[in-house]
Amino acid sequence: MSSLEDFAESEEHPLLTMREAIEILRIGRSLSYQLAHEYLKSGGTSGLPVIRLSKECYRVPRWALMELVTTGRVVRLCDAEAPDEGAHVAR
């Protein structure tokens, strides 16, 4: 199984560190933070979908990265629908 397939089927933590996202995207650290800043400045229309937890702490939602990798579509996290009541949440 490829690492992308492993990633898609994983039920691990729903938020990835930047280092984990970098490995999946196979890009450098500088580019990943540049894309994260682009995402935040563009209001979620371009870049790498991230949640900023503090000045130096970013997390990438696993599902949003999977959407980007498989379709090329950047999702606006603020527009995402909340899961249905009782829906399974990976922990």
Annotate 28-79 with three-state secondary structure. Answer: CHHHHHHHHHHHHHCCCCCCCCCEEEECCEEEEEHHHHHHHHHHCCCCCHHH
The CB density around residue 69, as the number of other CB atoms within 10 Å, is 15
Ordered by where they begin, the domains of the chain are: 3-73 (1.10.10)
In tens, the pLDDT along 41-68 reads: 999 999 999 999 999 899 999 999 999 9
| pLDDT the model gives residue 5 | 67
Looking at the predicted structure, is the pLDDT value of residue 84 above 90? no
C-alpha R_g of the chain: 13
| pLDDT the model gives residue 90 | 47
As a whole number, mean pLDDT of residues 11-34 equals 94
Tokens representing 36? 């994260």
Distance (Å, whole) CA 50 – CA 40: 8
